Structure formats: structure tokens, C-alpha cells
């Protein structure tokens, strides 16, 4: 029965973490990657996106029973580290996790393990959120509501993914139509979760999010726009939809932004 499962929810946001490999610019070498990540102008842009999109959407969640790690490199400049600490000071769910450079998935696994476990939990839902994106205020609640029912209708020892495949792309450089609605045909990484038994070290970063359905059972929803994906000059892997464009009116978009994300188009334009 669904009520036999207790789900703990752990998220991870990578904030300019200099992993070994995994970047489009990894051929620059470790020093080159860190120089690119820690460029003062880039960091300033990243802080603006993190504060007004990622962190804002985490703090806006209507379900507060979750933990989220903010993964940074030990080499992050001290001023940036202090600024980040100040931003999350009043957000008790957040924990800054500082690691030396290591292979990406190894670092991710260690970061999730740094977040304390609920001793009564039977399963862990690990979710991901990039530092330049936002997730709908219902994301955590939907993960918690859906996970026990999905586990109840299949082998609960096998991981299962939960994806939210409808949302907005925000292109700051597009002055005419900066915000567009899209329905993804493959999972997007914003709020994407993987539910697995406690003790299983697998997490949502184990597979490329676009290929997740090739490796795990995957439940996806398109009931409402559940993400804001930002498109800007610092996107490492590009930012293109895998699916079809939606047809919401400007008035409807404004309503979804206000009710689901606690923001407006003017707010986005001001970032």
C-alpha cells in the first residue's frame, strides 16, 4: 500500500562547481575551467539568476519538508562563498557543500550523502535544479504525493523517475517574445526526481536527463507549466526544447507566473 512508504526528499543545485570533465569547455583543463567559472562578470550573472530563479523558487515551495545541497568548489573565491552563505542564511532547508574537484557523478553522490537522512524513511527522492532555472511551487509536494503511489504499483526496489514536461523557456535576449511555453517529449532537468530505496546510492544525476526513460521507469506530467528554463550566454549545454510549443495567451502566462512561481514577466526582465 502507498501508505507503507515514507519518502525523504533531497535536492541538489550545482553553483559553478568545477568538476573534472563534464563541461563543454573541459578541454581548457582544470585551471581553465575554474578561470571561466569564476570570471567576476560571469559570477555576477550567475548570482542574479540563482537568487531570482533557483533560490526564489525553492523558498516559494508550499511543502517545506525537504533538504537541498548547494554544491560549490573549495576553490570558489571567498567573497563569492560569503555572498552565497548570506543568500541562504534564512533558508533552513539549504546546506552549502564544498568539495574539491572530482569526477562529476562522484561529487554528486558525495554531496547527496552529505544531506542528513530521515531515520524513518524507506525511500529517497533525489531531485535536481540548475542554479539558473526555477521550479513551480508545487514541485516538492507533487514528488511527495506521487512517489508512494508509483512505488505501490511496481517493484518498490527499483528506482522510478518523476518528470515535469511542461513549462516556460525564458530568453533574456529575445525582446519581442522572451517567454514561451513548451511541452517536452523527453525529461527536462528542472525539478526532475528519481525515487529509490534508502541505501541505494543511485541519484537523479546517474543518467543524462534527456535519456532517463531508456534506463528507468518514468512518470511525467503536463498538467501545468512546472518550470522556467533560462536561455542566456552562459548556458554550457545549450537550452533547446525537445518538444512542441504551447499556446498560452499572455494573460494566462502572467497568471501562471504569479501563482506558480511568485513572479512576473517584469521580474524576469529585471534580473
User: Other C-beta atoms within 10 Å of 128: how many?
Assistant: 21
Instruction: Spell out the domain ranges in the chain.
Output: 2-269
Please name the residues in contact with 260: beta carbons below 8 A apart, sequence gap of 6 or more.
Answer: 136, 137, 138, 224, 225, 226
Residue ranges of the chain with per-residue pLDDT less than 70: 1-3, 22-27, 236-238
| CA-based max dimension of the chain | 52
Question: pLDDT tens digit string along 153-167?
Answer: 999 999 999 999 999
Q: Whole-model pTM?
A: 0.94
pLDDT of residue 253: 96
Instruction: Give the right CATH number for 2-269 from 3.40.50, 3.30.2310, 3.90.550, 3.40.1710.
Output: 3.90.550
pLDDT of residue 25: 65
As a whole number of angstroms, the distance between CA 166 and CA 185 comes to: 9
Question: pLDDT tens digit string along 203-233?
Answer: 999 999 999 999 999 999 999 999 999 998 7
pLDDT of residue 128: 98
Whose CA is closest to 257, among 192, 202, 196, 180? 180
pLDDT of residue 87: 98
81, containing H or E segment:
helix 78-88
Strand 67-73 relative to strand 94-99, pairing? parallel
pLDDT of residue 175: 86
DSSP strands (E only) in the chain: 7-14, 67-73, 94-99, 123-128, 134-135, 160-164, 166-171, 179-183, 193-197, 217-221, 227-231, 244-245
Amino acid at each position: 500500500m502507498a501508505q507503507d512508504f515514507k519518502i525523504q526528499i533531497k535536492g541538489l543545485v550545482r553553483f559553478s562547481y568545477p568538476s573534472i570533465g563534464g563541461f563543454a569547455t573541459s578541454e581548457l583543463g582544470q585551471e581553465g575551467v575554474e578561470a571561466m567559472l569564476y570570471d567576476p562578470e560571469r559570477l555576477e550573472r550567475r548570482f542574479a539568476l540563482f537568487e531570482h530563479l533557483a533560490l526564489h523558487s525553492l523558498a516559494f515551495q508550499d511543502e517545506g519538508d525537504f533538504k537541498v545541497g548547494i554544491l560549490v568548489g573549495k576553490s570558489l573565491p571567498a567573497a563569492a562563498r560569503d555572498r552565497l552563505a548570506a543568500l541562504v542564511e534564512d533558508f533552513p532547508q539549504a546546506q552549502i557543500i564544498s568539495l574539491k574537484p572530482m569526477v562529476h557523478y562522484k561529487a554528486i553522490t558525495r554531496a547527496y550523502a552529505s544531506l542528513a537522512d530521515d531515520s524513518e524513511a524507506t525511500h529517497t527522492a533525489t531531485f535536481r535544479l540548475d542554479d539558473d532555472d526555477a521550479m513551480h511551487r508545487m514541485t516538492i509536494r507533487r514528488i511527495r504525493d506521487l512517489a508512494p503511489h508509483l512505488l505501490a504499483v511496481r517493484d518498490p526496489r527499483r528506482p522510478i523517475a518523476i518528470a515535469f514536461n511542461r513549462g516556460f523557456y525564458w530568453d533574456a535576449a529575445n525582446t519581442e517574445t522572451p517567454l514561451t511555453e513548451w511541452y517536452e517529449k523527453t525529461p527536462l532537468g528542472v525539478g526532475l526526481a528519481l525515487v529509490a530505496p534508502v541505501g541505494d546510492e543511485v541519484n537523479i544525476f546517474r543518467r543524462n536527463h534527456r535519456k532517463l526513460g531508456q534506463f528507468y521507469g518514468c512518470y511525467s506530467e503536463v498538467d501545468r507549466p512546472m518550470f522556467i528554463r533560462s536561455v542566456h550566454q552562459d548556458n554550457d549545454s545549450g537550452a533547446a526544447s525537445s518538444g512542441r510549443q504551447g499556446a498560452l495567451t499572455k494573460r494566462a502566462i502572467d497568471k501562471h507566473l504569479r501563482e506558480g512561481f511568485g513572479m512576473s514577466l517584469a521580474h524576469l526582465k529585471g534580473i
